[in-house]
């Protein structure tokens, strides 16, 4: 039997199953998430749920810089605003251990929802706590990962290709390694293109929330940084601050110094998007969620842009995981209806529509479909990137761990304070103190 026929049968069966009797009581559900383009796509998608279930949906979307503070305060206070929460991957430990999220194992078993049907990395990143155990607190909702966008039209200019090859001995093309990325950044830095001075790359440097951490890890991982001893949890010394990790931090600082636009000392997602769409930079680091918008943009979209996964380093090939799972909030008075939403959202036909609307499905029936890789110009890059993901701590104390890293890394990379080794040594001390306070050391 052809795979496409199997998927079609599965979709029909799921749709038939969901068309079962509506709840006697129609509820109004509030779904909480960040304010960004995928949230707008989810509003459109959810109209199908409203029609089929009889429930009505409202949405509480908060801009990314304020998202964590606003929603974690809501959860920690036991607030009833949110029935459904699409929370960041790093929140899963807190959501589970503090009792904010409903454990979904029994529900998944009763409804025939299998985590084997989702991309493994998203199950680990968005759903599991403790990690590596079959304890599920969310359904993978939005697969995301840090990748790169580049001005393909600039790269293809014959004069630039000839000049680059004469200097570096290779073609001007999407880089496969971090060293190649830096070469390209230096090549474009300060260059005049169409009468405008342009720069090599926009990268994450934001200090206030999570930006520089979500950026620098794409270098750290690929030089050999580890969060802990693989054989001994919370054993940090020599792993977080290994010589290889310090070299990765030095690389990121060198990339910032050589190849970024002036004034980019506190940039995150929106600033990088603006710099790229306005023609300031040849390359842009950003989460994959931006790619549909880039592709549709009248100035840089279509064949003008290309996409590539985070390049490999001397110690490995990884990319920082983004994305989120969708959870039922334990303080909700409408948990039954919220679970209905989860069941609806998990259907293959809904997940396929989610991808078409601009959401990033984590369902294997969608991403492993033979036509997926060519369905969008960035689809193959998304698949390649999701195959190399690694995530930040998902501990209940993740916010304290994150703040320390933001502070240590930003002071070194942007403010020129101390050395890379000193920054990581200080980070080890900070993190040990957090884990001691948590009773884990």
Domain boundaries, given as residue ranges, for the chain: 28-144+322-390, 146-320
pLDDT for the residue numbered 65? 86
User: What superfamily does domain 146-320 belong to in CATH?
Assistant: Periplasmic binding protein-like II (3.40.190.10)
Q: Which helix (H) or strand (E) holds 179?
A: helix 178-188
Distance of CA 269 to the CA centre of its chain: 11
How many residues belong to the chain? 441
* pLDDT at residue number 117: 98
Predicted confidence at residue 19, as pLDDT, reads: 44
**φ/ψ (deg, to 5) at 420:** -60, -40
Extract the tokens encoding 199.
């720069």
CA distance 210 to 37: 19
Q: Specify the fold of 28-144+322-390.
A: D-Maltodextrin-Binding Protein; domain 2 (3.40.190)
Distance, in Å, from the CA atom of 307 to the CA atom of 150, rounded to the nearest integer, reads 6
| Cβ neighbours of residue 214 closer than 8 Å, sequence gap 6 or more | 146, 204, 268, 287, 320, 322, 392
Can you give the pLDDT of all 441 residues of the chain as single tens digits?
333 333 333 343 444 445 444 445 789 999 999 999 999 999 999 999 999 999 999 999 999 889 999 999 999 999 999 999 999 999 999 999 999 999 999 999 999 999 999 999 999 999 999 999 999 999 999 999 999 999 999 999 999 999 999 999 999 999 999 999 999 999 999 999 999 999 999 999 999 999 999 999 999 999 999 999 999 999 999 999 999 999 999 999 999 999 999 999 999 999 999 999 999 999 999 999 999 999 999 999 999 999 999 999 999 999 999 999 999 999 999 999 999 999 999 999 999 999 999 999 999 999 999 999 999 999 999 999 999 999 999 999 999 999 999 999 999 999 999 999 999 999 999 999 999 999 999
CATH topology of 28-144+322-390 equal to that of 146-320? yes
Q: Residue 138: its pLDDT value, please?
A: 98
**Alpha carbon separation from 352 to 263, 359, 364 (Å, rounded):** 41, 9, 10
pLDDT of residue 1: 39
Kindly report each contact of residues 261-266 with a partner whose C-beta sits within 8 Å and lies 24 or more positions away, as own/partner.
Answer: 261/199, 261/202, 264/202, 264/203, 264/205, 265/205, 265/414, 266/205, 266/206, 266/207, 266/208, 266/211, 266/414
* pTM summary value: 0.93
Q: Cβ(37)–Cβ(45) under 8 Å?
A: no
Among the listed residues 56, 58, 84, the one whose alpha carbon sits nearest the alpha carbon of residue 330: 84
**Contact in structure between 71 and 62 (CB atoms under 8 Å):** yes
């Amino acid at each position: 039997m052809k795979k496409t026929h199997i998927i079609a049968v599965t979709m029909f069966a799921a749709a038939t199953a969901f068309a079962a009797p509506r709840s006697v009581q129609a509820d109004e559900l509030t779904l909480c998430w960040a304010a960004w383009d995928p949230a707008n796509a989810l509003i459109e998608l959810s109209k199908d749920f409203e029609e089929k279930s009889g429930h009505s949906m409202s949405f509480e979307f908060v801009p990314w810089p304020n998202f964590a503070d606003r929603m974690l305060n809501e959860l920690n206070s036991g607030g009833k605003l949110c029935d459904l929460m699409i929370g960041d991957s790093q929140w899963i430990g807190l959501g589970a251990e503090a009792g904010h999220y409903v454990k979904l194992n029994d529900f998944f078993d009763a409804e025939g929802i299998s985590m084997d049907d989702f991309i493994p990395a998203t199950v680990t990143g968005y759903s599991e706590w403790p990690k590596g155990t079959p304890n599920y607190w969310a359904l993978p909702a939005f697969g995301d990962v840090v990748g790169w966008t580049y001005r393909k039209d600039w790269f293809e200019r014959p004069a630039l290709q000839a000049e680059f090859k004469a200097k570096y001995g290779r073609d001007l093309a999407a880089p496969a390694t971090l060293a190649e990325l830096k070469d390209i950044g230096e090549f474009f830095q300060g260059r005049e293109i169409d009468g405008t001075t342009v720069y090599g790359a926009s990268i994450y440097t934001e200090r206030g929330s999570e930006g520089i951490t979500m950026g620098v890890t794409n270098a750290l991982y690929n030089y050999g940084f580890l969060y802990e001893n693989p054989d001994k949890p919370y054993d940090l010394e020599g792993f977080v601050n290994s010589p290889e990790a310090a070299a990765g931090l030095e690389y990121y600082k060198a990339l910032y110094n050589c190849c970024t636009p002036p004034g980019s000392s506190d940039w995150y997602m929106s600033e990088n998007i603006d710099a790229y769409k306005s023609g300031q930079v040849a390359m842009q680091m950003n989460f994959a969620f931006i790619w549909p918008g880039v592709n549709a943009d009248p100035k840089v979209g279509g064949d003008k842009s290309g996409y590539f996964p985070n390049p490999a380093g001397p110690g490995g090939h990884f990319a920082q995981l983004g994305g989120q799972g969708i959870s039922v909030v334990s303080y909700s008075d409408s948990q039954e209806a919220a679970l209905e939403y989860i069941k609806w959202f998990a259907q293959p036909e809904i997940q396929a529509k989610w991808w078409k609307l601009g959401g990033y499905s984590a369902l294997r029936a969608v991403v492993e479909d033979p036509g997926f890789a060519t369905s969008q110009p960035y689809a193959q890059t998304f698949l390649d990137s999701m195959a190399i993901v690694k995530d930040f701590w998902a501990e209940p104390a993740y916010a304290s761990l994150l703040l320390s890293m933001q502070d240590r890394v930003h002071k070194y990379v942007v403010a020129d304070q101390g050395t890379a080794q000193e920054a990581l040594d200080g980070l080890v001390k900070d993190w040990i103190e957090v884990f001691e306070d948590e009773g884990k050391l």
